[in-house]
Structure 1
Amino acid sequence: MSASLSTYVSETLRQRGIDVGHNLSPAAHPELSFEPPTLVTKEIRLEFPSRFGAFTKIHGPGHVTWVEIGRYGSFAPFVTLGANEHDMRRLSTSSSFENPGLYGWDVLTSGAASQDFHPFEKSVAPVRIGNDVWIGQGAFVASGVTIGNGAVVGALSCVTRDVPPYAIVAGNPARLIRYRFDHETIIRLERLAWWRFALVDLARFPVTALPECLDALERAVEAGSLEPYDPSPVTLGSLA
């Protein structure tokens, strides 16, 4: 993807309600996808086929490696989602062994280019994040972690294990503090899957009063008066 094409893609995405800031680069993966509308201002590792759900706001600065994120997510500044892992079973954890010539150290120290490469295998796995997840400022989520719907991650937390739906976790390493709601309410929320509806439709309900809001939403769904919001995701490959 050339620089001019990157500009074209960024503008086209913005016109469709997808704001990715200045993150595009020639290395963008063609299956990187965004469900409109969404906002991503953190730095994205574009060589991975990440997916971003509608009505999600991922504020920068911060770092996104390989993610699958649902709808209505809230991500504070300085959050890191995934990172390369180093294999601790090898002679060395140094990434220099992946490519000894990356910075010219092979020629500098031996006078010849090295042909010996030892890449880390499966050093990155996708971070899977559900719908309505809030991650506080400065949190770190390790590669391969799954965070359930409605979960909350406290600021500066280090998340190395999966987080159940509607759990509140915090600390280093992150530990369960409590759940946002009682068990029965969580079951109702998961069954309702309210995130399948558009923001403007949901905003008409009393979102600040949960019991009344759930009752009203369940009645509306049963009556068929709410239509799911189902836009087509936009992939970078479709715009190139």
Structure 2
Amino acid sequence: MQGPDPKNPHPMTGFPQVCYIKNTIKSQNIVVGDYTYYDDPDDSEGFERNVLYHFPFIGDKLIIGKFCAIGRGVKFIMNGANHPMKGFSTYPFYIFGNGWERCSPQPEDLPYKGDTVVGNDVWIGYDSLIMPGVNIGNGAIISTRSVVTSNVPAYAIVGGNPARLIRHRFPETVVQSLQRISWWDWPVEKISDHLSAFLGADIDALSAAADA
């Protein structure tokens, strides 16, 4: 087989700070694609500790595509962090019991923004924070220490708090072609054969390979 083994948690010999995290995920509500890695010299296998307020009874999922690069300290806030806001207090009295549980909200009364979805070939920079229900498109780049509160288009670069569009990486016609090609779903042998086209941004060569 060409390329590294996606089933090897640490594909770089002697460099354990990079981990293919699909091999280390235990939660059924976190789905990660092949070749997506987390880079952390302290504990690269402990990515799940960065998925916060992810309570099984809520049922929301974190879905991350293939070939993503996730920097150290990137965190995902899930729907369990949300408090009801329609009353005069946002304090969660009910979780402490001792009579306060009588005011427990119904599940439909709790703020819920859906699954958090990260596309394929996404680069998320150091210490960024992704908020609940955000969708990040294929090929997007999240700048270091960004706070992502809304959806990110495919092949966009965003940054800041809250994260704003900095620029689009490629013209819209190229983005549409890349979305159609979906190279991340190719067999690894085919990807390996066309690395020069990926790295050289040769959309004509990739399109020809996709149509072959």
TM-score by length of 2: 0.72
Q: Who is 2:7 aligned against?
A: 17
Structure 1 CA distance for aligned equivalents of residues 185 and 171 of structure 2? 22
- Asked if 1 retains the 8 angstrom alpha-carbon contact of 2:21 and 2:32, the reply is no
- Asked if 2 retains the 8 angstrom alpha-carbon contact of 1:151 and 1:166, the reply is yes
- Which residue among 8, 26, 33 is the counterpart of 1:53? 33
Structure 2 CA distance for aligned equivalents of residues 41 and 87 of structure 1? 36
Shift in Å at residue 39 of structure 1? Answer: 1.7
- Which residue among 186, 190, 195 is the counterpart of 1:201? 190
Q: Deviations over 1:134-166 (max 9, x none)?
A: 110111111011111111111110111111111
Structure 2 CA distance for aligned equivalents of residues 45 and 114 of structure 1? 33
Count of residues paired in the alignment: 178
Structure 2 residues without counterparts, runs of 5 or longer: 11-18, 55-60
Q: Who is 1:63 aligned against?
A: 50
Shift in Å at residue 188 of structure 1? Answer: 1.3
Secondary structure of 2:117 counterpart: strand
Q: Deviations over 1:105-161 (max 9, x none)?
A: x4xxxxxx6542525624463111111111101111110111111111111101111
Percent identity of the aligned residues?
Answer: 31
Shift in Å at residue 85 of structure 1? Answer: 1.5
Shift in Å at residue 16 of structure 1? Answer: 8.2
Could you say what the CA RMSD is over the residues aligned between the two structures, in angstroms? 3.0
What amino acid sits opposite 1:166 in the alignment?
A: Y
Comparing 156-165 and 124-133, the one that deviates more: 124-133
Change (3 A) 1:16 1:202: closer
- Which residue among 122, 129, 134 is the counterpart of 2:123? 134
- Asked if 1 retains the 8 angstrom alpha-carbon contact of 2:8 and 2:23, the reply is no
What amino acid sits opposite 2:21 in the alignment?
A: L
TM-score by length of 1: 0.64
Structure 1 CA distance for aligned equivalents of residues 104 and 138 of structure 2? 38
Runs of 4+ in structure 1 deviating by more than 4 angstroms, as ranges, are none
Structure 1 residues without counterparts, runs of 5 or longer: 1-14, 21-36, 107-112, 224-240
- Which residue among 191, 197, 201 is the counterpart of 1:210? 201
- Which residue among 64, 81, 91 is the counterpart of 1:94? 91
Shift in Å at residue 38 of structure 1? Answer: 4.2
Structure 1 CA distance for aligned equivalents of residues 90 and 23 of structure 2? 31
Q: Deviations over 1:142-195 (max 9, x none)?
A: 101111111111111011111111110000010000011122211211111111
Q: Larger Cα Rg: Structure 1 or Structure 2?
A: 1
- Which residue among 157, 160, 164 is the counterpart of 2:153? 164
Structure 2 CA distance for aligned equivalents of residues 45 and 92 of structure 1? 35
Change (3 A) 1:139 1:100: same
Q: Which one scores higher on RCO, CA 8 angstroms, separation ≥ 6?
A: 1
Structure 2 CA distance for aligned equivalents of residues 72 and 198 of structure 1? 13
